[in-house]
A and B are shown apart, each in its own frame.
Chain A
Amino acid sequence: MDLDVLLPKLLCIAWLLPLASFTLIVFFGPRMGKKGILASYVAAGAIVTSFILSLIAFVSWIGANGVAAPGGHHGDEHAAVSPLPVDASNSPSPMRLASLADTHAADSHGHDEHAVHEVHKPVAYTGTWYTLGQFGDLKITISYYIDALTVCMFTMVTLIASCIHFYAIGYMHDELHDITDTQVLVTKGYRGHGHGHAGHGHGAHDAHAHAHDDAEHDDHGHGHSDLPPPPAGYDYLHRPGRFHRFFQYLSLFCFSMLGLVIAGNIAMVFVFWELVGVCSYFLIGFYIERKSASNAANKAFIVNRVGDFGMIIGLMALWGSLGTFAFGDVDGQQGLFSQVRNSAHNYELRTPDGMVLQAASDEIARGVEPTAKQIETWRSEKLGYWLLVIAGLGIFCGCVGKSAQFPLHVWLPDAMEGPTPVSALVHSATMVAAGVYLVGRFYPMFTPEVLLVIAYIGLITLFIAATIAITASDIKRVLAYSTVSQLGYMMLALGIGGWSAGLFHLITHAFFKSLLFMCSGSVIHACHTNDMFRMGGLRKKMPWTAYTMLAGCLAIIGTPLFSGFYSKDAIVAQAVMFTKQNPAHGILLYGFAGGAAMTAFYMFRLWYMTFSGKPRDHHVYDHAHESPKVMYVPLVILSVFAVSVGWTMPFFGLSLTNLLEQARPAGEIGTGVLLPALSYPAEYLSHAPSVHLIATLIASATAAGGFLLATLFYGVHKLDAADVKRQFNPIYYFLVHKWYFDELYNFIFIKPLFFVSSIISKIDKNLIDVFIDKLAVGVKALSRVDDAIDRYVVDGFVNVIGNWTYSAGRSLKAVQTGKLRQYVMFIVVGTVALTVIMQWALAAE
């Protein structure tokens, strides 16, 4: 079967299987086996099958398109040759021809006599599965856009999700029984459980209103045999387990995430974007009775809405001017990418005609004929360019929300209220990476100015998050801030033109961060606390967890030969190239390097505090135990990938970067139009040995520096952390309070909002309500009058007529004598009388 037929089919099934599992669990979940245990097998079976299908798709992709990066951009010998693009695909079917051109290029790669590089349109299969509706020109479809990036993402998401499903079977086993949640207090005798809303309203009292400050909570409500007795007058909340519900949400999430990845148009992306958002909301609020969890869920949802607002603006800008949502060309209609970067213009970024016309609508109304030449003039006057910038910024705004970038990063750390498998899957590996993925997918549409914004947002995010992670004491929060920071890296990489570097880091990060989260989950599972200050020395108790986590830590800080090294190296190299070309933006490189050092520091602070040294809390230490096999086997699998996913496979030549190169958007980013000084170096230039050497040195030095510092503080205790804390007290508190972002937002947005709402509620109560009340009283009086009229006038009239009819009937009753012969006489007499009358009347005429 051809790849363009096979891939959509395979990936469609892989995409829909989790939906089937979700549907099954929704309807039959509680009845699936004992307490719904089978639900987990259904969900895991679906996602594993999806993974196998994705793997087949992955292998067949390599079989058809090879493992080499397209074009000759990758040999270092070409680094100096400036690419002179020649349009190779000026034909009705650019997709197929482009792939032909690729194979041709791969063949001619060795003997590169013509020093001209062809501009390669990436191989992509686009098409429509189903048209949901058509309103004029607007076509809402379920379509696909499959390229190397899609296939890689599918494989990555399904692999990690499979591991996490199995892990969750072990992690969530408490939910198979009734649960006593020690974090929710209810008044004695309260019997709200079993109704699903044993919530706060009914005299329930929340023990953990400040859960994220004291970092005392664990995911598991059940606790040990020696529960501390609840305070007088209160009971711990007792509720039935929700095992099946967890897997139901996981399945829905997998479906949404895969739909987001495979989506062939931005409207479909938006739909699945919201779906993953709502899944995240459900999963963060899984322990809904805890006020902290439900608050965190609300926070995540609302903060994401802010970003989505921008995204909708971007969508409107695109639809209003370009008239399509599709990424690629479908059915002869130009998609977004080819409108912005057309093969007729060497895939250079040009303001599309639609946007030019939109911007020039005033002049057209004035009577200027929009000829092709006139459009060209307008284009050179930068008309419509700002529309492209707004569209790009709008889409990026959505990505800021979903990928927890500054200033919307505040929701992600709070999202750690959800169960740890969720943190691993949704809030580190996949969903939050969706923003980065969308930036990568939408890359051809971004102008250099927008990319610069992306770079700076990424930089700010990575710096802020890294500093906060240094002081966090909650093991999951350290990882959460680390996630935010790493997402910042990816955004920064994409923003400085490192397309494949950023997406490469997205995939390597997904593996090691999900691994780290699952390890932390394993620790929490063993210790029943999140607080690192109560751990220590756990290495001996849980060796599997400790050493897989060590592998994750080494990967994230970028130790050579670990996957993180390769991706960070690529980003640093691009940063070096970029700052060389744009010295004004040198801070991008320095900030990056500083962030890398901090990453190494806080990751090893976490590892040392948890696993090495002496136990700080013997109660916790004595209860700790290695997790069951179903939990640590996924850890081992993931750690293998976390180490090796960046490698180039020996003999086979398969490497993730080359594969991603196959999906690289065609054309150069070029120089800015609004900022002419800004110019982007092509990414392949950063593969030059001179650049790479510097990059490797920077990356390794910063990582080693951070690692050594952490070792001095927490490994060998040569330096005293408490001492440093005392000396830099203001800074320490600034960081512990997370740069006061929550307080700031509370002051800027929430307080004014409450103030305005209180005014509005007063207006509502004192003005509108009173008016309505008075109106109601008036209507009541009016209806009394109406009632009287109805009762006495209308009814009376009807009654009178009724009585008349009745009495007439009574008197006429006597005529019915029942004597047949009498009736005949009546007839005869009547007839005779009629005849006589008629005669009489006729005679009178």
Chain B
Amino acid sequence: MNLLTEPVGVAHFMVVGAIMFACGVVCMAVKRNALGVLMGIELVLNGANINFVALGSKFLQKDGAFSLGLDGQFIALFVIVLAAAEAAVALAITLNFYNNHSTVDVDRANELKG
């Protein structure tokens, strides 16, 4: 199966989602800036979101295939809301961290190590 020759289907969306997920993970792992790490988290979440939407869409299903209804879209909406909430909390933590350390370098946040 060659993705490039196939018509656009679920697999293509999943590839895009996987790429976004990988980018996000790499971003989280290599960035020392806390804001960068947060961006990486957003990428990871949205990569997963794409998978949800794609798998839930009836337009991307073959005829007669099993449809998941609108569940995927709803879960995506939930994830967006959760991401927003998480971003708010994470930004507050970052702000506090900045207030205390005058930096947002996550490598400096090692005071709780064992």
- Interface residues of chain A, those whose CB is within 8 Å of chain B, are 812-821, 824-825, 828
| Chain B 15-33: CB-based contact to A (< 8 A → 1; otherwise 0) | 0000000000100111110
Q: Are B110 and A817 in contact (CB under 8 A)?
A: yes
Q: Are B111 and A818 interface neighbours, CB within 8 A? A: yes
A820 & B109 in contact (Cβ 8 Å cutoff): yes
Say yes or no: B112 contacts A818, CB within 8 Å. yes
Inter-chain contact A816/B28, CB cutoff 8 Å: no
Interchain residue pairs A-B with the least CB separation, the first 5 = A818-B110, A818-B113, A816-B114, A813-B114, A820-B106
Cβ of B37 < 8 Å from any Cβ of A?
A: yes
Contacts of B110 in A (CB 8 A): 817-819
Are the CB atoms of A828 and B25 closer together than 8 Å?
A: yes
Q: Is B29 in contact with A821, judged by CB distance below 8 angstroms?
A: yes
B29:A824 contact, CB within 8 angstroms? yes
**Cross-chain contact B114 with A825 (CB below 8 angstroms):** no
Beyond A825-B29, A828-B25, A828-B29, whether A820 also contacts B107 by CB under 8 A is yes
| B109 engages A818 (CB within 8 Å) | yes
23 contacts between A and B (CB under 8 A): A813-B114, A814-B114, A815-B114, A816-B113, A816-B114, A817-B113, A817-B114, A818-B109, A818-B110, A818-B111, A818-B112, A819-B107, A819-B110, A820-B37, A821-B28, A821-B29, A821-B30, A821-B32, A821-B106, A821-B107, A824-B28, A824-B29, A828-B29
Instruction: Among B32, B112, B113, find the residue whose CB has the most chain A CB atoms closer than 10 A.
Output: B113
Bound together, the chains give a CA A825 to CA B25 distance in angstroms of 8
**A-B contacts besides A818-B113, A819-B110, 18 pairs, CB < 8 Å:** A812-B114, A813-B114, A814-B114, A816-B113, A817-B113, A817-B114, A818-B110, A818-B114, A819-B107, A820-B37, A820-B106, A820-B109, A821-B29, A821-B31, A824-B28, A824-B37, A825-B29, A828-B29
Task: Give Cα A816–Cα B28 distance, bound, in whole angstroms.
Answer: 18
A825 to B28, CA, bound (A): 9
State how many angstroms separate the Cβ of B90 from the closest Cβ of chain A: 12
Q: How far is the CA of A816 from the CA of B114 in the complex (A)?
A: 5
Chain A residues with CB under 8 Å of B114's CB are 812-818
Residues of B within 8 A of A812 (CB): 114
B 98-114 contacts with A by CB, 8 A: 106-107, 109-114
**Closest CB of chain B to A809's CB: distance in Å?**
9
> Which chain A residues border B37 with CB–CB below 8 Å?
820-821, 824
- With a cutoff of 8 Å between Cβ atoms, the chain B residues found around residue A825 in the complex are 29
Q: Which residues from chain A contact B32 at a C-beta distance below 8 Å?
A: 821
Q: Is the CB of A816 within 8 A of B112?
A: yes
Chain B residues with Cβ under 8 A from A817's Cβ?
A: 110, 113-114
Closest Cβ of chain A to B101, distance in Å, is 13
Closest chain-A Cβ to B106's Cβ sits at a distance in Å of: 4
**CA gap between A828 and B26 in the complex, in Å:** 9
- Min Cβ gap A798→B in Å is 25
**Which of chain B's residues 17-60 have a Cβ closer than 8 Å to chain A?**
25, 28-32, 37
- B63 CB to closest chain A CB (Å) equals 28
Q: Which residues of A lie under 8 Å from residue B29 when comparing CB positions?
A: 821, 824-825, 828
Q: Within the assembled complex, what's the spacing in Å between the Cα atoms of A828 and B22? A: 10
| B88 smallest CB distance to A (angstroms) | 19
Complex: chain A residue closest to B28, CB-CB:
A824
Residues of A contacting B111 with CB < 8 Å? 818
Please name all residues of chain A whose beta carbon is closer than 8 Å to the beta carbon of B25 when the two chains form the complex: 824, 828
- Which chain A residues lie closer than 8 Å to B113 at the CB level? 816-819
Query: A821 to B28, alpha carbons, bound, how many Å?
Result: 7
B44: shortest Cβ distance to chain A, in Å?
Answer: 10
Nearest Cβ distance between residue A839 and chain B, in whole angstroms? 15
- In angstroms, Cα B107 to Cα A817, docked, is 10
- The complex places the Cα of A812 from the Cα of B113 at a distance, in Å, of 12
Closest Cβ–Cβ distance, residue B1 to chain A (whole Å): 19
Residues of B within 8 A of A824 (CB): 25, 28-29, 37
Q: Which residues of B contact A818 (CB under 8 A)?
A: 109-114
Chain B residues near A815 (CB, 8 Å)? Answer: 114
Question: Complex: how many Å from CA A824 to CA B24?
Answer: 11
- The CA-CA distance from A819 to B30 in the complex, in Å, is 12
What distance in Å separates the Cβ of A712 from its nearest Cβ neighbour in chain B?
Answer: 119
**CB closest residue in chain B, given A825:** B29
Q: Which residues of A contact B106 (CB under 8 A)?
A: 820-821
Given the complex of chains A and B, what is the CA–CA distance between A739 and B35 in angstroms? Answer: 116
A813 CA / B30 CA spacing, docked (Å): 24
- Determine the chain A residues whose CB is within 8 A of the CB of B109 once the complex forms: 818, 820
Chain B hits for A819, CB < 8 A: 107, 110, 113
A116 to nearest B CB, angstroms? 106
- Roughly how many angstroms separate A820 CA and B108 CA in the complex, as a whole number? 9
Q: Could you say which residues of chain B place their CB within 8 Å of the CB of A821?
A: 28-32, 37, 106-107
CB distance from A515 to the nearest CB of B (A): 98
Min distance, Cβ A716 to any Cβ of chain B, angstroms: 120
Nearest CB of B to A69, in Å: 101
Q: How far is the CB of B9 from chain A (nearest CB, A)?
A: 23
- Bound-state CA distance A627–B53 (Å) is 116
A813 contacts across to B, CB distance below 8 A: 114
Q: How far in angstroms is the closest Cβ of chain B from A136?
A: 68
Please report the C-alpha to C-alpha distance between residue A816 and residue B110 in the assembled complex, in whole angstroms: 9
What residues of A have a CB within 8 angstroms of the CB of B28 in the complex? 821, 824
Q: How far is the CB of B41 from chain A (nearest CB, A)?
A: 10
